[in-house]
Amino acid sequence: AVDFRPPGFENNDQKPIGYGRMLRKEDARFIRGKGRYVDDVRLPGMLHLAILRSPLAHARIVRIDTSAAEAHPKVKAVVTGAMLAERGLAWMPTLAGDVQAVLATDKVRFQGQEVAFVVAEDRYAARDALELIDVEYEPLDPVIDVRRALAPDAPVIRTDLEGKTDNHIFDWETGDAEETERAFASADVVVSQDIVYPRVHPAPLETCGAVADYDRVSGKLTLWSTTQAPHAHRTLYALVAGLPEHKIRVIAPDIGGGFGGKVPIYPGYVCAIVGSMLTGRPVKWVEDRSENLISTGFARDYIMRGEIAATRDGKILAIRTHVLADHGAFNAQAAPSKYPAGFFGVFTGSYDLQAAYAKVTAVYTNKAPGGVAYACSFRITEAVYLVERIVDRLADELGMDPVELRLKNLLKPEQFPYKTKTGWVYDSGNYEPTLRKAMEIAGYHELRKEQAERRARGELMGIGVSFFTEAVGAGPRKHMDILGLGMNDGCELRVHPTGKAVLRLSVQTQGQGHETTFAQIVAEELGIPPDDIEVVHGDTDQTPFGLGTYGSRSTPVSGAAAALVARRIRDKAKIIASGMLEVSVADLEWRKGAFHVKGDPTRAVTIQDIAMRAHGAGDLPEGLEGGLDAQICYNPENLTYPHGAYICVVDIDPGTAKVKVRRFVAVDDCGTRINPMIIEGQVHGGLADGVGMALMEMIAFDEDGNCLGASFMDYLLPTALEVPDWETGYTVTPSPHHPIGAKGIGESATVGSPPAIVNAVVDALKPFGIRHVDMPLTPSRVWEAMQGRPQPP
Ligand code: CDP
């Protein structure tokens, strides 16, 4: 038999796909500094674009004088909203079906909004010329407090929308309100908790940028841009700007982190395109850190009231929630069209409930637009935080150990596929072993003993648990689209005569290692070593159409596509093999990398032999065309539902109220594991994100709408100093409908870790009688919560 796994991988205990923990192919260029990002693109004659942004959160534009900027010797063009309006380009659609100003025409609606742009010979001149533009504003009252946005006397932000007399965007409901009310009425115990998930920012290392190159002769536009969804962006540019789609090429080169923040189309991309069309030269726009933090997509900003009903002995009956969602000045949330609150509907968590109900009310405020799925499958992070906080509150109310309460209520393996009270069908799950494994790694019972001893000495130690189920892999086209584009992924595989292959994907990696893992999937299916498989992505001229990478959808959707396209090739290869071996197809069996004649192991042809025959001289079996290529467009049957159990241990300094995450145990189940090393990397990164959100990160505003988190001096990101050595584990519950049983992993840790950390901090503060503190749990917030409380012994 041909075993294509290299020495050392045959008995890999992690039972991975293909080559298991193989090192990332893309590291060869990244560790040598040979990555090629948008800012590395330098074209002959290239000009530079800078954007003038509003200093005010809400103001009428009275007058813009660009004459001094135009007179600057290095300036080639100065463009305002009024000029774009003449060409019908001042407004663009958002992913949520609203419109957003490319450049403001009538009013500015958030601090940092795009007002004008300059194209100049170099970046410095472009920036200097911004200072020469004179804008007269008439300040208007800003709406900053989301709770006040719906007050009858609140100023109306979206006066551009005909007939709009308030700041209401939508109300969305899920579940059954009456059934839930009945379950609450019958409950022994009801707990209610107000919970804020603050506005945070994906804060990728690389900010957003674009290089637009419009060729006036061929009419072709080439756009290098920091996009997680090149194909969807190309279609939208075609629809909005009226450019023929085949004359647009969007290239997403190496991307320095996306985390959902590079899904929307930002005004800067459109400005770069306009700038190139106007000047006939390539135009580069790269925003700086502050621009990125104040104007590109924020995440979360959900104010939630969570209620949970249970019996006295701890059977959870129902969960109910009402959410006030701050969407900023334009509804630019990224989510499939039918899901205005994203996948918040999974707030029922991992538990067997009788009833559930949620209502989400979304409003406009004078803040940057966004609502992007920051390392999150469309609002799942908020949903998981809500349910895992209120379950902990219930445990406290019942005097039950939070682990015992969860064990009592977790869904049982025989309940899968499980339809939740809000209509989601969880594909597979085996929850209890995952939680038990986390408890075992953490030494949960010993930790509780240690905590009791420390408490007796007045020390503040906390243990926090969370258990989450995610819904990832958007998605089935009968339910999911973005602006009318079905959420399917194309994939093309071409095997060359010598048995080397090229796999073309519609998804776009931003550091997740697709060039490695997707090659591993094909290696597993076809027996071609991963090093012989080139993965091509991020270029609309080179890859089939698909909706891009976000919401951990790559493995569930494109990963499935890659496996299936390889199987198509294998089917054809089998017919060719039957001709080569002169036996019928039914007499062949496939074992890693080769077709063998049943009962005669000496007679076999490898996929490489078959590839040569497919392209070579001589006849092929009747009816078969030459070549060895295949293409598919994959429509997933369902989402995949990864799960995980996290345990966090914190110590709080009673003097400074500083929280230290001492230990963090994460046990994840993402079904079949393709590359355990990459999975660990994804989990480590997500856990660090979780520490950031739980303890440090928040985009805050003052009462005038000035953004207070506009640099990394104020918007704090976790470093190696704030995070512990992660302790990870795994269980494997394959997805029944995914061809290789894989579920997504990219965002599990970001989703699951904040509640574990907050639960740990609240647990540590239990002696003070504290039941909840909102994120971020900075020393000042924790210290404030401790004040005026009876001191623990
Ligand atoms: O869509 P995105 O790539 O961000 O998320 P993902 O599909 O969860 O995959 C993240 C990375 O982990 C990719 O390189 C995957 O191929 C890899 N992965 C894996 O090795 N095994 C899994 N079961 C899931 C993901």
CATH code at 630? 3.30.365.10
Length of the chain: 793
- Closest residue to atom 9 of ligand 1, CA basis: 746
Residue 390 covered by a domain: no
Q: What is the best residue among 470, 512, 634 to mutate for testing ligand 1's pocket, by most ligand atoms within 8 Å of CB? A: 512
- Phi/psi at 12 (5° precision): -55, 120
Angle between helices 607-615 and 560-581 (to 10 degrees): 80
Question: Which residues face 355 on adjacent strands?
Answer: 318
Which of 228, 745, 747, 748 has most ligand 1 atoms within 8 Å of its beta carbon, as the pocket-test mutant? Answer: 745
578 and 517 in a single domain? The answer is: yes
Residue 511, in any domain of the structure: yes
- The distance of Cα 425 from the centroid of its chain, to the nearest Å, equals 21
Place of tokens 């007045």: 458
Same domain for 546 and 656, yes or no, is no
Assess if residue 464 is contained within a domain.
yes
| Claim to verify: residue 704 and residue 788 sit in the same structural domain | yes
Residue of 489, 682, 730 best suited for mutating to test ligand 1, as the one with most atoms within 8 Å of CB: 682
Stated as kind and residue range, the H or E segment containing 86 is: helix 81-86
Residues 616 and 541 in one domain: yes
Nearest CA to ligand 1 atom 19: 674
Residue 7: the pLDDT is 45
Q: Give yes or no for residue 84 CB within 6 A of ligand 1.
A: no
- Amino acid making up residue 557: V
pLDDT of residue 791: 72
Do 607 and 645 belong to one domain? no
Segments of the chain scoring below 50 in pLDDT: 1-15
Closest CA to 275 of 105, 87, 100: 87
Beta carbons of 111 and 294 less than 8 angstroms apart: yes
Amino acid at 567: R
For the CA of 559, the nearest atom of ligand 1: 16
**Domain annotation covers residue 330:** no
Ligand 1 pocket: which of 517, 547, 748 to mutate (most atoms within 8 A of CB): 517
Same domain, 563 and 619: yes
Looking at the 3D structure of the chain, how many domains does it have? 2
**What secondary structure letter does DSSP report for 671?**
B
Residue 593 confidence (pLDDT): 83
Asked if residues 33 and 625 have their Cβ atoms less than 8 Å apart, the reply is no
Ligand 1 atom at minimal distance to the Cα of residue 521: 16
The model carries a pTM of 0.96
Both 564 and 587 in one domain: the answer is yes
Whether residue 60 is contained in a domain is answered as: no
Same domain (yes/no): 649, 756: yes
**Cα–ligand 1 centroid distance for 76 (angstroms):** 44
Rounded Cα gap, residues 375 and 334, in angstroms:
12
Which two three-digit tokens encode residue 608? Answer: 């490489």
Alpha helices (H) along 661-775: 676-695, 748-764
Q: What is the pLDDT of residue 14?
A: 38
Q: With b meaning 16 or more CB within 10 Å and e meaning fewer, what string describes 746-764?
A: bbbbbbbbbbbbbbbbbbb
pLDDT of residue 245: 97
Which structural domain, as residue segments, surrounds residue 712? 412-472+639-793
Structure tokens given for 531 = 């090093």
Q: Is residue 313 part of a domain?
A: no
629 and 648 in a single domain? The answer is no
Point out the domain boundary residue: 581, 600, 634. 634
Tell me whether residue 294 is in a domain.
no
Query: Do 644 and 787 share a domain, yes or no?
Result: yes
Between β-strands 209-215 and 283-286, what pairing exists: parallel, antiparallel or unpaired?
antiparallel
Token pair 């530079």 is found at 48
- Say if ligand 1 is within 6 A of residue 552 CB: yes
Contact 268, 262 (CB under 8 A): no
Ligand 1 site, residue 745, Cβ cutoff 6 A: yes
Rounded to 5°, the CA angle 728-729-732 comes to: 145
Rounded to whole angstroms, what are the CA distances from 645 to 434, 448, 522, 612, 791? 6, 17, 31, 49, 32
Query: Looking at ligand 1, which residue's alpha carbon is closest to its atom 4?
Result: 552
Domain end marker among 615, 634, 653: 634
- Kindly state whether residue 79 falls inside one of the protein's structural domains: no
Same domain, 648 and 779: yes
Calpha distance 680→121 (Å, rounded): 45
The half-sphere exposure of 253 on its side-chain side, counting CA atoms within 13 A, is 19
Task: Give the closest residue (by CA) to ligand 1 atom 11.
Answer: 512
Q: What spacing in Å lies between the alpha carbon of 500 and ligand 1's midpoint?
A: 24
Whole-number pLDDT of residue 411: 98
Q: Is the CB of 517 under 6 A from ligand 1?
A: yes
Q: Report how far apart, in Å, the C-alpha atoms of 186 and of each of 183, 190, 315 are.
A: 5, 10, 12
Domain boundary pick from 577, 607, 634? 634
